[in-house]
Amino acid sequence: MKSHLFFSIAIICWLSMRPIQAETAVEKYTRPIISFITETINNYFPGTFAEKENSEEEEILLPKIPEIKDKAMAIQERGDSKSPDDVALNAKSEEVEKYNYLFLADLFLAVKNREIREEEVASWMNVLGQKGTREGIYRALVLDSEYRGLEQIKGPVSTGAIEFTQDIFGKFLNMEVSSDAISQFNGHTVKRIVTENALEVIDALYAQSPDDFYNWYAVFSSDLAKAFADNMQGEIRKNSSKRIHREWVKEVPLQHAKAEVIIKLHMIYNKIM
């Protein structure tokens, strides 16, 4: 019985650490298996795993948000010989291409609120293949003429978007912003400004301590999942467990984590602005 139990635990751990993406056929058919295994474990050790999970959730707290410093200095100050983006996904080249395509599809839908075109896929896949960064692609998209046109559209920002912006700035970016200041811009400008500030904070947090960033990401993702699960695509994005999000972000390059923050923020603004 014990050997079966430990094998079951191993299966759950392996399945929970996979990269964020839309539900696959494998996930569809393994979900009942996970439920069965979890029930078996809880019956064998009643209360133990649930109590441990709750304890781990309570221990993941938002770190002190540092003052935003120059981005170019952030990684250097940590004293590492390599960038966190040198961390490689344990994936074959064809799997990396699949993840890159899914990223681009999500990014265009979130940032420009439209599907990516075939010629854009070829162009940006080439950039990623030549070591271009996900953050760099995002910044290129919000600086192009198409996005500038979106920012010039006149129209008020919704009350929900204003409140969400104040919440993000206050809790996760350690800044205060008035509703009047937000109302000066349209929704496309607001979501770009919020996202750019979030990326600055991420760099400063990672320079301060990778663990601080992991905790920040876990709380950030958990809060968004609790409030906006209906606006999320993918089971992990919808998951409100801080522990699950922390486990995921520890296993991926920093660029992948930044991409998730970018996509989540833009997806939510698209629904509420």
pLDDT of residue 86: 44
* pLDDT-derived band at 161, boundaries 50, 70, 90: very high
pLDDT of residue 102: 96
Q: What is the pLDDT of residues 31-62, one digit of tens each?
A: 555 455 455 545 555 554 445 556 677 789 99
Its pTM stands at: 0.75
pLDDT of residue 43: 55
Q: What is the DSSP letter of 185?
A: S
pLDDT of residue 57: 79
Within 8 A by CB and 6+ apart from 164, the residues are: 268, 269, 272
- 33 vs 78 pLDDT, higher one: 33
CB 267 within 8 A of CB 112: no
Q: What is the pLDDT of residues 218-256, one digit of tens each?
A: 999 999 999 999 988 889 999 999 999 999 999 999 999
Q: With H, G, I as helix, E, B as strand and everything else as coil, classify residue 62.
A: coil
Which parts of 70-186 fold into alpha helices (H)?
Answer: 71-77, 93-111, 118-129, 134-143, 145-151, 159-172, 179-183
pLDDT of residue 9: 43
State yes or no: pLDDT of 77 exceeds 70. no
State yes or no: pLDDT of 73 exceeds 50. no
238-260 burial code (b ≥16 CB/10 A, e <16) = ebebbbbbbbbbbebbbbbbbbb
pLDDT of residue 242: 98
CB 41 within 8 A of CB 49: yes
* pLDDT-derived band at 17, boundaries 50, 70, 90: very low
- 86 vs 31 pLDDT, higher one: 31
State yes or no: pLDDT of 115 exceeds 80. yes
Instruction: Give phi and psi for 197, each to the nearest 5.
Output: -65, -35
Q: What is the pLDDT of residues 185-219, one digit of tens each?
A: 999 999 999 999 999 999 999 999 999 999 999 99
